[in-house]
Structure 1
Amino acid sequence: MNDRLRIGDAEREAAARELGEHFAMGRITADEYTERLEQIWSARTAADLAPAFRDLPRPRVAQQPRVASTSPAARRERGWRPELPHIPFPFKLLVAIVVIWWGFHHPLFLLIAAVVYVVFVRRFTHRRRWHGRSGPWSHSWR
């Protein structure tokens, strides 16, 4: 990360949380904590944050917060599918009867209806939702 780039409130909040962890572990006193916290909140660049942690261990790399994107591609990447409205069974039964009846009179229609059902209806109404949990072995499909 370029130390001369300006930082935002998210980076300051992350640094304040990290400093709070050091304070909770007893690495700094209450006076040092308030002094360093003032440095963090007045920091404008990443280089301004460094003095607050000059003598403290930094075991983890400060991460920028993930902003949840609502674009369709981002939702698909996370495994999200839109919740489709429930279609009542009597309506499904009526549609199936009409398709079968019309299929006896026009066999090509029955073939087209079967293809449409398999390709579109089954694909978009399959109720599989991803319950995101971190870790390589924690995938859960319902």
Structure 2
Amino acid sequence: MAIAALFVTAGGAFASSGDVDLLVGVERVSTTNGLTLYSGVKTEAQAAALCDDAFCAYSSNAGEVQVADDCGVGAYIPQSWRTGAAGGWWQNSLPTGFVSMYNNAGTNIYDTPDAYSADWTANWGPVRYWEIQCGNP
């Protein structure tokens, strides 16, 4: 399905493709230092609509997506993402660059491949922080 437009307001986000409102119920919670957090994400299609030309980290525990698209931007993984099953996924659709992931000790534990790459069965349990890197891994 092609999405004609993506509209984001202070109270939420929705995409319109004629008669389809794909992102109804998805709310933009915050935008800080190049990172946008969305909540209420219930389907992969909703999350994918938010991830064009960006890095997205999704938590199935929280129904949240972290979205960033600039070098040097990163985010801490909330405790709610890292408990229990700690499931979710990440998608790297950045035009250039990769993402480094770090554990609680600040040790780099994983670098994503360049775009287009994804892990649809990611485990956020060991990840404490991620950051977009310019260049190649």
TM-score clears 0.5: no
Q: Which has the higher strand share?
A: 2
Normalising by the smaller structure, the TM-score range is under 0.3
Bigger radius of gyration among the two: 1
| TM-score, with structure 1 as normaliser | 0.18
Q: Which has the higher helix share?
A: 1
